[in-house]
Amino acid sequence: MATVLSAAFPLHVVTDGDDRRPALLLLNPLGTTLSFWDPLIGRLSEHNWVVRFDIRGHGRSVGEVADYTISDLADDAVAVLDALEIPRAHVFGASMGGLVAAELAARYPTRVDRLVLASIGLRLGPDFWWHETIARAQVGGLPSVADHVQKMFFSDDWSETFPDERKACRQMLVDTPVDAYVAGAQAILGADLRHVAPLIRAATLVIAGADDPVLRHHPSSDLLDAIPDSEAVEVSGARHRVLLEQPALLADVVCEFLADPDGR
């Protein structure tokens, strides 16, 4: 464990696996900590040196959160790579972390080997949903939006089958400081990959839940069409947190993609 300073913001960093293996940088969704990746980390770290960190204001990356953009978070990711002396890494981002990963690959192409983007399109969700969620969070705190968010993020079957895991995800969201969540939601509102995606030169795997309501207005297929060297995996019945609904399956898919120089 280590702390990395990026733009004077302390970022809590954890690594897993053997540092002689290829580096894999994980980028978290909004309203989660680096423990979001726990269900996948055992498999991912078998063949990679896995690096993950809490984004600004989340988990143990504690500090006063000012407004920021997805580009700022991409710079944070580069700061983490620099601090660990990693010249080039595979990058795997989910939801807001996927937006950051795409920005990172477009702006710093020499730093990204293979790219995995989960639960994003060229934009992330309809603007009205984010405006409504921000307003409710600012008035009633994150407990006031948690149930609505989870209904969007998890299928009913998964929620009923894994109630303890669902409760833990809800608690992770509720524990997020309101200012950190709102700053992240505002960054998502300002994010648009239409001009970013065509600049990505890394071989890219796009993962989506087939029933993800967040992608209804901006489907992952549009992202796939925009990235020159890309392929897709869609998981039937899964929603926005597809990685948590099918962690074993998708960890295997990602490891296969990262290991094969010719793609899957």
pLDDT digit string, tens, across residues 217-263: 899 999 999 999 999 999 999 999 999 999 999 999 999 999 976 64
Range scoring the smallest mean pLDDT among 95-104, 136-145, 254-263: 254-263
Please answer whether residues 52 and 259 qualify as being in contact, where contact means their C-beta atoms are separated by less than 8 angstroms: no
Question: Mind listing the pLDDT tens digit for each residue in 183-202?
Answer: 999 999 999 999 999 999 99
Q: From CA 169, how far away is CA 30, in angstroms rounded?
A: 12
DSSP string computed for 37-71 = GHHHHHHHHHHSEEEEEPPTTSTT--S------HH
What does the mean pLDDT of the chain come to? 94
**What digits encode the pLDDT tens for the residues 103-131?**
999 999 999 999 999 999 999 988 999 99
pLDDT of residue 1: 55
**pLDDT for residue 4 is more than 90:** no
Whole-prediction pTM: 0.95
Of 5-9, 34-38, 96-100, 227-231, least confident by mean pLDDT is 5-9
Residue position matching structure tokens 């498999």: 43
For residue 107 the two structure tokens come to 């702006």
Binned at pLDDT 50, 70 and 90, residue 264 comes out as very low
Question: With contact defined as beta carbons under 8 Å apart, do 44 and 251 qualify?
Answer: yes
What fold, for 2-259?
Rossmann fold (3.40.50)
pLDDT digits (tens, 9 = 90+) for 148-165: 899 999 999 999 999 999
Q: Tell me the HSE value of 160 on the side-chain side, using a 13 A CA sphere.
A: 3
Q: What is the DSSP letter of 108?
A: -
pLDDT score of 63: 83
